Amino acid sequence: MSTANQTTAQMAERVLDQVMSAGATGDLIVDEGETLSLKARDGELEEYKVSSSRIFGLRVIKDGHIGTAYSEAVDADALGSMVGQALNNASFGKVESHENILPNSDHLQTDDELLCPPEQVSIEQKIELALEIESKLTAKDKVKNVPYNGVQDITSQRQIFSSAGLNALTRSRMCAAYAYALAEDGEKNAMQGTSQVTRLFSGLNAASVIDKTYEKCIGLLDGKPVPSKHYDVIFDPDCQVSAFGVFAMMFSGKAAKDGINPMRDKIGSTITDSRLSIYDHPLNADGFGYHLFDAEGTATKKSELVVEGCLQTLIHNSATASYFDSETSGHASRGPRSTLGVKLHQVEIAKGSEDLSTLHSGEYLELTDLTGLHSGANAISGNFSFGASGYLCKDGERIQAVRGITVAGNFYEMLNKISMIGNQQHWNEGRSALMPSIRFSDVAISG
Amino acid sequence: MLNNQTAESVIDHALSLGADFAELFVEKNETNVVSTLSDEVQSVESGINFGIGLRLVYGTKVLYGYTNKTDRDELLRIASVLAAKDLRDPVSTLKSFNFSHISDIHPASKILSVDAEIESKVAYLVASDRAARAAGEQISQTRGSCMQREQHVEIFNSEGLHTNDRRNYIRSSLTAIAADGNEQATGSWNDGGLLGWEIAADLDPQRTGEEAARQALVNLTAKPCPSGRMPVIIGNGFGGVIFHEACGHLLETTSVAKKASVFHDQMGEMIASSIVSAVDDGTMANEWGSINIDDEGMPTQRTQLIKDGQLTNFLVDRIGAQQTGFARSGSGRRESYRYAPASRMRNTFIEPGDARMDDMIASIDKGIYASHMGGGSVQPGTGEFNFAVTEGYYIEDGKIQYPVKAATLISTGPKVLKEISMIGQDFSLACGMCGSISGAVPTTVGQATLKVDDILVGGNA
């Protein structure tokens, strides 16, 4: 039977009928997307990319065995083959008594007005923005070129269907602009960049991307190492979110089940400075980590992870929750190509009490760029060693640009060496997490 | 995978819209991944990726689109959308397709479409787990995986090219975790190639398990690493990742044409120590980074990048050739139909020298022996890099003293090339995935153990 004129829901129904006919249960994720991507070079459009994609990802459970398979081809043969592969794959797995298709027959849909607002924007306006960012940055003093830049408009949609009757739909839009400029001054050079994301194209601000990128480039052009010793360190919002992201496994119920989460036995214990409270807040629609439901269709809610230094809970899907005799926290993650896992949606750290002048008192290093984030970190032990750039500061003044240094230590120990927490929260550039600035003390810097 | 008539009408249509060049890249790939956690199967995942990428070139401007659909109307629609802002009278005409059979220089036998051989892979991973656990009581867990992929590509272009290729990839890895109280450390082993499961004949589960366990156990006892500027000996095999990331990427015309590489105007100049010669070679039989043809349909080749310290070639794709004037080197690669091709590395390595390991260590008063490297990152415009050491040792008074942990190497590509003072004889290759502008592609890195006289070592001692 041809699938050419069938809707996604009809194809999903057909797939799940085949799963149930084989005596199994299952759920199906269908991800679809449309992307426009523009890049500029020397005042001209260098790349213009359009795409449309669709992928089906199936999970089946038969006699307690789990199997997954996916297909980008959506004709009846390909989808039938996907079902066969998933069932075959299941036959090799051990019995996973804790993993089941949830008895959830909800029909859920996110608010298009909120996440995918309509907007009339011409392609010319998008091209103009890409050209403006590249040409105005290139024209600035000491900027040699802007080798990496672009404007994107991405609409993505996810549908989840299950043999229990779940039918969940979310659709969202993200417009982005980014630029990485190379600045040169004699023998010295620096390459830095910024990005911006919004729901509406009209929300993108070329001047902001240009000015921030230029400021970062020029600021670090004279950068040099500082003497090796222990410093107080404040990460900028992006670096701080990245650092927390690298060690996010500390909250993973799946990693705990697998025996590799060092916090597995520390629920109820103090694991950080008592002034630190960490939440996951998927329902804050100002961020791009907004999720109304997780990959199993479970409704999400704000979760307390750490309150005043005490670990409250790990994050769970229904399988890890069952293993620990607990409830799912609405943190199931699964892509069409992957198995069931857990994932934080949108981390939020509660603001502290220190105003900017107190936070910035005395000498400290402000780190604005970290490199080697994943290769230089061990989330199991907490040890890390990153390349870094930024500024040596005194009483809020940047007194020296700093490059060619490393910052090293143990992240889990660092959470107990917090000197101050700022009283204002900031989004990172990707608007995926909301945190105040944290001043860490006694951090090893090599220069 | 796409009939000639559809390809012809789409390319014809693109040229009628004024494109200088048009290309269709059709891809279908099947993947199977077996994962184990200790001695049990964690998951078996499989799937099919399928899609078509359409590239139109106007001058040096690239317009790219892709879709999962194969019907002619959808492809014509994408061509029209792409060309909408560049419409002009036709400047090129389609030359009739001339199918060229490629010679398969990387044959494979036990391929995925015949049999995924899941039982055999599970048996190998479980035996590796047992070997790892037997190496020490502190080995608490292992994670294993076997990934096999069969990729079919078909390429048509407006110059009359029509060719296809089948690529069989296999890669296996094992990570061992050692635990002692609250301390945990990891060690890993991996191998792969452009071939099928016949690689199993060369895989020894005992050696796999023992090596992953050995590294984890060494790291469990490692002390904080001293920091500062010092000489560093970088181990063979995956140690070549530094050359790959910090120098190789700067030799791709993707960076060179944009003048985003410090080497963009240094062809023929001495950019490295005179003992350094480096190569990027797609022809090495069944190596992980090898190819028969690149993703623009050009047969692969061996490209000498640096000879005795002198820059001799860049890695050049079609657009790079147009932009820089250098001849194509069969280096146009992409992860999948979702990406336009770009100049990328294949099997990239520093050629071996004649130094002895003992002499390298004896030449160092205070320094580091980074026997195994992990991943890292590089800033393409400046060549600044940062790499993690996954197994390292502190050297003092010409002798290895103790293992160190959480060490990072920081420098710039151009500086390191000039600071290489000794290159050993123990040449080997190691496989990895390289992420860049056209996605993640299989690449091999390699070198013999070598000594760099001055690198900033980041540590927390």
Give the tens place of pLDDT for each residue, A19-38: 999 999 999 999 999 999 99
Interface test with A, best of B138, B258, B317 (most A CBs within 10 A): B258
Residue B412 belongs to domain spanning:
228-458
B71 part of a folded domain: no
pLDDT in the model for residue A137: 97
pLDDT in the model for residue B461: 65
Q: Are residues A62 and A97 in the same domain?
A: yes
State the pLDDT confidence band at A1, using cuts at 50, 70 and 90. Answer: very low
Q: Are residues A211 and A228 in the same domain?
A: no
B132 part of a folded domain: no
Beta-carbon contacts below 8 Å between A and B: 234
Chain B hits for A49, Cβ within 8 Å: 63-65, 340
Looking at the 3D structure of chain B, how many domains does it have? 1
The ipTM is: 0.84
Q: Do A387 and B63 touch (CB under 8 A)?
A: no
Residue A390 belongs to domain spanning:
223-243+352-446
Interface test with B, best of A370, A406, A411, A445 (most B CBs within 10 A): A406
User: Of A185, A203, A218, which residue constitutes the final position of a domain?
Assistant: A218
Contact B196, B147 (CB under 8 A): no
pLDDT in the model for residue A33: 92
Question: CA quadruple A420, A422, A425, A430: dihedral positive or negative?
Answer: negative
Q: Are residues A170 and A56 in the same domain?
A: yes
Q: Which two tokens stand for residue A101?
A: 């298709």
Q: Do B67 and A89 touch (CB under 8 A)?
A: no
Q: Are residues A132 and A227 in the same domain?
A: no
* Rounded-to-integer distance, Cα B421 and Cα A403, Å: 25
Whether B387 shows a pLDDT value over 70: the answer reads yes
Length of chain B: 461
The pTM assigned to this predicted structure is 0.88
Q: Do B410 and A190 touch (CB under 8 A)?
A: no
Q: Which two tokens stand for residue B45?
A: 């995942």
Give pLDDT tens digits for B297-349: 999 999 999 999 999 999 999 999 999 999 999 999 999 999 999 999 999 99
**Kind plus residue range of the DSSP H or E element containing A13:** helix A8-21
Q: Are residues A39 and A96 in the same domain?
A: yes
pLDDT in the model for residue B203: 96
B31 part of a folded domain: no
Contact A85, A62 (CB under 8 A): no
Chain A hits for B262, Cβ within 8 Å: 189
pLDDT in the model for residue A47: 85
Whether B89 shows a pLDDT value over 50: the answer reads yes
Q: Are residues A193 and A233 in the same domain?
A: no
The minimum CA-CA distance between A445 and chain B, rounded to whole Å, is: 8
> Quick one: DSSP state of residue A309?
T
Q: Do A48 and B63 touch (CB under 8 A)?
A: yes
* Residue A265: closest C-alpha in chain B: B182
> Is the model more confident about B95 or about B89?
B89
Whether A394 shows a pLDDT value over 60: the answer reads yes
Whether B106 shows a pLDDT value over 90: the answer reads yes
The minimum CA-CA distance between A50 and chain B, rounded to whole Å, is: 5
CATH code for position A149? 3.30.2290.10
Looking at the 3D structure of chain A, how many domains does it have? 2
Give pLDDT tens digits for B178-213: 998 878 889 999 999 999 999 999 999 999 999 999
Q: Do B458 and A260 touch (CB under 8 A)?
A: no
Q: Are residues A230 and A186 in the same domain?
A: no
Interface test with B, best of A378, A402, A407 (most B CBs within 10 A): A378
pLDDT in the model for residue A3: 56
Which of A93, A260, A406 shows the shortest C-beta gap to B408? A406
pLDDT in the model for residue A383: 84
Q: Do A387 and B62 touch (CB under 8 A)?
A: no
B58 part of a folded domain: no
State the pLDDT confidence band at B259, using cuts at 50, 70 and 90. Answer: confident
pLDDT in the model for residue B447: 98
* Rounded-to-integer distance, Cα A60 and Cα A20, Å: 9
pLDDT in the model for residue B136: 95
B331 part of a folded domain: yes
* Residue B65: closest C-alpha in chain A: A50
B213 part of a folded domain: no
A109-123, A286-300, B270-284: least confidently modelled range: A109-123
Bridge partner list, B333: B342
Q: Are residues A12 and A159 in the same domain?
A: yes
Whether B406 shows a pLDDT value over 80: the answer reads no
A268 part of a folded domain: no
A93 part of a folded domain: yes
- Residue A412: C-alpha distances to residues A43, A260, A428, B294, B407 (Å): 47, 14, 22, 46, 18
* Rounded-to-integer distance, Cα B384 and Cα B369, Å: 21
pLDDT in the model for residue B69: 79
Q: Do B61 and A374 touch (CB under 8 A)?
A: no
A325 part of a folded domain: no
pLDDT in the model for residue A108: 93
Chain A hits for B374, Cβ within 8 Å: 375-376
Q: Are residues A99 and A68 in the same domain?
A: yes
Q: Do B460 and A148 touch (CB under 8 A)?
A: no
Q: Are residues A387 and A368 in the same domain?
A: yes
Q: B460 touching A, CB under 8 A?
A: yes
A83 part of a folded domain: yes
Interface test with B, best of A182, A184, A226, A410 (most B CBs within 10 A): A182
A43-57, A273-287, B4-18: least confidently modelled range: A43-57
Q: Are residues A237 and A208 in the same domain?
A: no
Average pLDDT over residues B152-170: 97
Q: Dihedral of the CA atoms A248, A253, A255, A260 (nearest 10)?
A: 100
Q: Mean pLDDT score of chain A, rounded to an integer?
A: 94
The minimum CA-CA distance between B105 and chain A, rounded to whole Å, is: 30
Q: Do A71 and B48 touch (CB under 8 A)?
A: yes
- Residue A273: C-alpha distances to residues A251, A379, B33 (Å): 17, 19, 42
B376 part of a folded domain: yes
Length of chain A: 447
Whether A356 shows a pLDDT value over 90: the answer reads yes
pLDDT in the model for residue A389: 95
pLDDT in the model for residue A99: 96
List the helix and strand counts (H, then E) for chain A.
10, 19
Restricting to B residues 273-332, those with a Cβ less than 8 Å away from any Cβ of A are none
pLDDT in the model for residue B374: 87
Q: Are residues A180 and A230 in the same domain?
A: no
Whether B375 shows a pLDDT value over 90: the answer reads no
* Residue B40: closest C-alpha in chain A: A94
Residue A392 CB burial class (10 angstroms; 0-12, 13-18, ≥19): buried
Give pLDDT tens digits for A206-216: 999 999 999 99
Contact B35, B42 (CB under 8 A): yes
| 3-state SS assignment for residue A207 | helix
Q: Do B47 and A85 touch (CB under 8 A)?
A: yes
B214 part of a folded domain: no
Average pLDDT over residues B25-48: 95
| 3-state SS assignment for residue A348 | strand
A291 part of a folded domain: no
Q: B39 touching A, CB under 8 A?
A: no
Average pLDDT over residues B288-296: 98
Give pLDDT tens digits for A66-97: 999 999 988 899 999 999 999 999 999 889 99
Restricting to B residues 142-181, those with a Cβ less than 8 Å away from any Cβ of A are 177
